[in-house]
Amino acid sequence: MEWKPKISIIVPIYNVEDYLKECLDSIQNQTFTDFECIMVNDGSTDSSQKIAEQYLVDNRFYLLNQPNSGQSVARNKGLLLAKGEFICFVDSDDIIHPRLLELLVAYIQEDLDIVEADFTDNLDVFIEEKCFNVQISFEGYGEEVLKACIDTWAITHQPVAKLIRKSLIENVLFPENLIYEDLYTGIALLKKVRKAVKLDFYGYYYRPNPMGTMKGSTVEKQLDIFPICELLERYYSDKEEYMYYIHTVIFHHIAQRYMTIKKQTNKYDKQFNHWLNKYSKDAYPNDHYLKIYKLYPSKFFYIKGLEQFYKKILRKANKILIQLKK
């Protein structure tokens, strides 16, 4: 009888020889062992393939080599090969906590489609995480999950630090040859989610400046945000009751890309303003970013950036308070 693991871990690999061993060791050393790890080498030109091959002595690890095609193609190839009931994505320069799978699996129920932990770019915080008295910080059903992702970020659209039911994500594969593919797939899969749970522990460390499998993100490449947002809007076109949320998340992400590009060039001002105006008309009317944009368009990016800075501080403070209460 063919072995069918509970979890399929998918690791896209591209030129990460300095970090790959640490990443794969963190997977191999999981306290929960009923998993397979599908490594997809995306045409690496360094020693990444040789490093990955060393893990093939562990029969839970598989390696697929492909010409360089990008992170989306690598993830989608992994999904096609996956045998697990749940999918776990790990970027090849990141690290997962030894108990990540154990703690996530403990909350799996028949109607649960997503269970996730927190992630951090602070290595000290990650190392100090002891996973004592782990609590549920969010639990929601259907539309509640989409709303939480957009309104409070209680659930994230990022594919990492979580388990996703395979039957849910295999119908919304990552768009290929575009960056910001995480935004599309992460929001699209919430259209049909039944239940999602968030746990209050740091189970995933990501490097602040990842080399990863994403090819160089030039200014022009960042314009991929437009076709990604169009795909997302089209996917939700039959769910009119969700469009406030979708237009809000599109507005936010286009504004964020504009903030980044505007530091380098004014060449795309007209294009970005067209998209911002388009989605500001139909976004969630009580969204505070939208109100700022309508009242102070010339000050919007300064205010938004300042607010995000303070939100980041507040999130960190709340995490510290939670840890102190344990």
Q: What is the mean pLDDT of residues 274-301?
A: 65
Are 24 and 102 in contact by the 8 Å Cβ rule? The answer is no
What is the reported pLDDT for 199?
Answer: 97
The CA distance from 89 to 99, in Å, is 15
- How far CA 199 is from CA of 135, 238, 317, in Å, comes to 6, 32, 17
- CATH 3.90.550.10 range(s) for the chain read 7-205
pLDDT band at 91 (very low <50, low <70, confident <90, very high): very high
Q: What is the mean pLDDT of residues 142-158?
A: 91
CATH assignment of 7-205, among 3.40.50.2300, 3.30.9.10, 3.90.550.10, 3.40.50.300: 3.90.550.10
The CA distance from 34 to 202, in Å, is 21
- What average pLDDT does the chain have? 87
Alpha helical stretches, state H, 236-285: 243-262, 269-280
Name which of 319, 107, 119 is nearest 196 in CA terms: 107
**pLDDT, tens only, 177-222:** 999 999 999 999 999 999 999 999 999 999 986 444 444 457 888 8
**pLDDT, tens only, 44-76:** 999 999 999 999 999 999 999 999 999 999 999
Residue 74: CB atoms within 10 Å? 28
Q: What is the mean pLDDT of residues 100-126?
A: 95
**pLDDT, tens only, 232-268:** 999 999 999 998 889 888 988 888 888 788 778 889 9
Those residues whose C-beta lies under 8 Å from the C-beta of residue 196, and which sit 6 or more positions away, are 112, 113, 114, 115, 116, 138, 139, 140, 145, 148, 155, 190
Q: Residue 320: is its pLDDT beyond 70? A: no
* Percentage of the chain modeled with pLDDT above 70: 83
